[in-house]
């Protein structure tokens, strides 16, 4: 993409007999120039992309999208406690060979009665130790699965 470099246009011959929608004015051309140049500024220099495709934003996004993977990093049954900061709610995740973008709770439900309205959510992450803190609204045993979204 490149900027439009012409100087701003001025009115030459307004031709009042021609309807507005049937002519291109200096305001139209200057608006086109402004929009194109703003888009060029917002897109930036495609050669700076950390992808092999440096000519198309869509191509670069698709390239990165193709590299995204998910992997299960924890699966098990454990009892969670409602006490805020309870160390028994900290679990260790399996290591991922790649750059982890995010962890997400794939599922969590009480082993005995999954309709009781309990909520389990990921809390603080401890990336250096592959540990995560789980928070819950109901102290009981849960089936838990946590996955990671990552790039190799």
Q: 143: how many CB neighbours lie within 10 A of its CB?
A: 14
Task: Note the pLDDT tens digit of each residue in 71-123.
Answer: 999 998 888 888 877 888 888 899 888 888 888 888 777 655 544 556 677 77
Residue 134 burial by Cβ neighbours in a 10 Å radius (0-12, 13-18, 19+): buried
Handedness of CA 81, 82, 86, 92 (dihedral sign): positive
Q: Are 146 and 94 in contact (CB under 8 A)?
A: no
What is the predicted pLDDT for the residue at 104? 85
Q: Are 105 and 120 in contact (CB under 8 A)?
A: yes
Q: What is the DSSP letter of 17?
A: T
Question: Would the pTM count as exceeding 0.75?
Answer: no
- Dig out the tokens for 92 from the structure: 């260790």
What is the predicted pLDDT for the residue at 35? 93
Q: H-helix or E-strand containing 94? A: none
If one compares 126 and 94, the residue with the highest pLDDT of the two is 94
């Amino acid at each position: 993409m490149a900027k439009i470099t012409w100087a701003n246009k001025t009115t030459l011959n307004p031709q009042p007999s021609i309807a507005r929608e049937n002519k291109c004015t200096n305001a139209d051309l200057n608006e086109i120039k402004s929009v194109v140049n703003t888009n060029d500024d917002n897109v930036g220099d495609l050669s700076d992309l950390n992808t092999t495709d440096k000519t198309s934003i869509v191509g670069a996004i698709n390239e990165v999208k193709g590299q995204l993977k998910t992997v299960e990093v924890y699966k098990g049954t454990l009892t969670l406690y409602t006490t805020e900061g309870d160390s028994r709610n900290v679990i260790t995740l399996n290591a991922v060979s790649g750059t982890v973008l995010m962890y997400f709770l794939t599922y969590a439900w009480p082993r005995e009665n999954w309709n009781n309205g309990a909520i389990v959510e990921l809390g603080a992450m401890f990336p250096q130790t592959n540990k995560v803190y789980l928070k819950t609204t109901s102290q009981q045993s849960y089936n838990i699965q946590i996955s990671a979204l990552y790039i190799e």
